[in-house]
Amino acid sequence: MVTHKTTKGIIAILTGGGDVPGLNPAIRAVTIRANREGYKVIGLRRGWAGISELIRDAKADNSNNFQVLTDDIVNKAGRTGGTFLHTSRTRPSHMAKASVPEHLQGTYNAEYNDITPEIIKNLEWLGVDYLIPIGGDDTLSYGVHLYKKGVNVVAIPKTMDNDVPGTDYCIGFSTCVSRTIQMTNSLRTSAGSHERLLVLEVFGRYAGFTAMLPTLAGAANRCVIPEYEFEIDHLAKLLVEDRNQNPSKYSVVLVSEGAMFKGGEMIFADSEKDAYGHAKLGGIGEMVSAKLKELSAKHNNGKVINVIYQKLGYMVRGGDPDALDSIVPMAYGNLALDLILKGVHGRIVVLKNGRYDNLPIDVVTSSKKVVKLSDYNIERLRPYYHSFEMKPFLLMASDN
């Protein structure tokens, strides 16, 4: 439907999964450079949902599914957080019957449906030559699926958990860490005033990077992460000791949302699952808080210590990107264009060992990126490094 007559080709870009600061700068980088090089850029709206719901009819109103991107549009949005293209957790390869677009329900009416043939036809109808999905391992895993079906895909990693395999850095991570440090420092004044323990729940379903790095930077005394099942009594003992050694009489722990008590399981906010099979996490921080108060007297000469609990949640997602999440997305967008200009696809752009690079896109589905327990002191419940020499820039390597 979209003509090639006045362009070298058409590039489509989308953002999927959770929003993070840095998505709009990435969209801007792709669009500005691509337009200058003679390409047309189409923004697919609401992640994989927009291209799923598109109607292949020139008379249909598809304005909610895609838009042509201009320099004016992306320049205005490029300094802001979130994603102006919007996002979703749609999974076209495993789409529940109730989620199948109305015009496709006659064809796809099983309990779960793979509507990938429609996605490919829709991309062809739009005239898309290259597809750039920006997302975490869920969004990009479907990008891998499309690549294996013949679509020219170049991926950009995004997630504040920083757990996309193959890359040391994912868009959103720096702002998340910066916000976590900032908010922890704000809340410590209340903890100190009341001589309490401070418990903050942070993002991190399977990987504890968002708890590890702020703790290493001095924001917290201890952290508990998904990679290690912790003993709550041991944590209570450490935090009471930290508090009593502090002249201001408080201590701080960061709790990853995916952290688990020893012998326990992840704590979920409810039983509802998204298209990728993930239930919403939430509640481990509150449970840790209650247990710490209960156990505090045991380690504090019989005196109970009260606890301040705060779930940071969307507060670290909101707002404008910090410096790194303005610079790295710009570089990632240009790296993606470099590959396209060379006719290369099936790659993911990465930061590895302090340098920009690209890797085969199937690295996203062929491995997992988590915290190495050799970097986490299980006795002290905090990060531990024997030496910082030759470590990656943000210490969290891609080959964990």
Q: Summarize pLDDT for 248-301 with one digit per residue, the tens.
A: 999 999 999 999 999 877 676 665 655 555 556 668 999 999 999 999 999 999
Q: pLDDT at position 400, please?
A: 47
Mean pLDDT of the 15-41 span:
97
Asked whether the predicted pLDDT for residue 116 surpasses 70, the reply is yes
Identify the band that residue 1 occupies on the pLDDT scale cut at 50, 70 and 90.
Answer: low
Task: Tell me: pLDDT of 104 over 50.
Answer: yes
Please give the pLDDT value at position 386: 84
Element containing residue 188 per DSSP (H, E): helix 173-194
Q: Annotated active-site positions, please?
A: 161
**pLDDT reading at 113 higher than 90:** yes
Q: How far apart are CA 396 and CA 177, in angstroms?
A: 13
Say whether 174-313+373-383 and 10-171+321-366 share the same fold: yes
Whose tokens are 């109730």? That residue is 98
Query: In sequence order, which residues have a C-beta less than 8 Å from that of residue 244 and are 6 or more positions away?
Result: 300
Q: Which helix (H) or strand (E) holds 178?
A: helix 173-194
Structural domain spans, the chain: 10-171+321-366, 174-313+373-383
Distances (CA, A) of 128 to 13, 56, 298: 10, 14, 64
Give the CATH H-level superfamily of domain 174-313+373-383.
Answer: Phosphofructokinase domain (3.40.50.460)
Question: Using one digit for the tens of pLDDT, what is the confidence trace for 322-341?
Answer: 999 999 999 999 999 999 99
CATH number of 10-171+321-366: 3.40.50.450
**357 forms bridges with which residues in the sheet?**
350
User: 395 — alpha (psi -120 to 50), left (phi > 0) or beta?
Assistant: left
Looking at residue 395, what is its pLDDT? 81
| Each residue's pLDDT tens digit, 207-228 | 999 999 999 999 999 999 999 9
Pair of tokens at residue 335: 């790296």
Nearest to 87 by CA among 19, 171, 12, 160: 19
Residue identified by tokens 């690079």 is: 357
Mean pLDDT, all residues of the chain: 93
> In the chain, helix, strand, coil percent, each to 5?
35, 20, 45
Q: 372, exposed or middle or buried, with CB in 10 Å at 0-12, 13-18, 19+?
A: exposed
State how far the Cα of 156 lies from the Cα of 136, in Å rounded to an integer.
Answer: 9
pLDDT score of 398 = 63
Please give the structure tokens belonging to residue 360: 């085969």
CA nearest neighbour of 101 among 400, 189, 109:
109
Alpha carbons 202 and 186: distance in angstroms, whole number:
15
Give 241's contacts (C-beta < 8 A, 6+ positions apart).
299
Q: Report the pLDDT averaged over residues 153-174.
A: 96
User: What's the pLDDT at 392?
Assistant: 82
- Give the pLDDT confidence of 31-89 residue by residue, as tens digits: 999 999 999 999 999 999 999 999 999 999 999 999 999 999 999 899 899 999 999 99
Q: What's the token pair of residue 44?
A: 């697919």
Whole-number percent of the chain with pLDDT over 90: 87
Residues 376, 384: contact at Cβ < 8 Å?
Answer: yes
